[in-house]
Chain A
C-alpha cells in the first residue's frame, strides 16, 4: 500500500464550486504539505502543517484553506474554484528528526476547473 494517498486522483469541477482534496499518510510523519504544480512554474507551496495544531501559509495560499484533522490527514479546500486553479496538486510529508529529512509525495490530484 502507498504511504501517502490522495483522493480524488482526478476531478473536474465548475467555477464557483467548493471542492476538497484529501491526503492521508501512514508514514507517521508530523509534517504535511500541499503543493500545486503548473507547467514552467515548478512546485509551489500552498500550505503546510508541522503538527495537528499548526497551520502555516505557503507561497500561494490565497483561494485555498486547509484542515489538519489528525496527524495522518491533511485536507485542502478550494472554497470557490476558479479556472486558474486548474493544476496538478501534490500532498507531501516529511519527518521532523535531525539531519537531512526528505519529503515523500502522494500520487497527485489532477484538477480541472471549467
Chain B
C-alpha cells in the first residue's frame, strides 16, 4: 500500500476557476505535510507546508484532516502559470514520501 495517494488527473480548468486536489496518507504517525509544485522536467519546489489548523497563502489554501488522513489544496482564481504537477508529501520519521502528483492545466 502506498504511503501517499493522489488522483493523477489531469485536471483541465479555465482561467479564473477554482480547483481542489485531495491526497490521502496511510500512516497515522505521519508528522508533517506539504504541497510541492513540479513544472515539466524540473525539480519539485515547495508550494506550502500544511498546518493542522489549515493555512492560506494568497490564492492557495491547504487543509489537513488527521482523523480522515487526508490533505487538500484549493487554488482560487486559477492562472495560466498555475499549470504544473502538484505533489502531496508526507514526512514520517524524517523520511519524505511523495504522491505521484496531480496534473493541472489551466486553459485560456
B59 located at the interface, meaning its Cβ lies under 8 Å from any Cβ of chain A in the complex: no
Contact of B42 with A107 in the complex, beta carbons under 8 Å: yes
- Chain B residues contacting A100 (CB-CB under 8 Å) are 32, 34, 49, 51
Interface of A is mostly: strand
User: How far, in Å, is B5 (CB) from chain A's closest CB?
Assistant: 10
Q: Which chain B residues numbered 92 to 108 have a C-beta less than 8 Å away from chain A?
A: 94-96, 98-101
Count contacts on B: residues with CB < 8 A to the other chain: 20
Contact of B98 with A42 in the complex, beta carbons under 8 Å: yes
Contact of A41 with B100 in the complex, beta carbons under 8 Å: yes
Q: How far is the CA of A48 from the CA of B101 in the complex (A)?
A: 22
| Contact among A33, A42, A94, A105 with B101 in the assembled complex (CB-CB below 8 Å) | A42
User: How far, in Å, is A38 (CB) from chain B's closest CB?
Assistant: 10
B10 located at the interface, meaning its Cβ lies under 8 Å from any Cβ of chain A in the complex: no
B43 located at the interface, meaning its Cβ lies under 8 Å from any Cβ of chain A in the complex: yes
Given A43-B87, A101-B32, 16 additional A-B pairs, CB 8 A: A40-B100, A42-B87, A42-B98, A43-B44, A45-B95, A48-B95, A50-B94, A100-B34, A100-B49, A100-B51, A102-B34, A103-B44, A105-B43, A105-B44, A105-B45, A107-B43
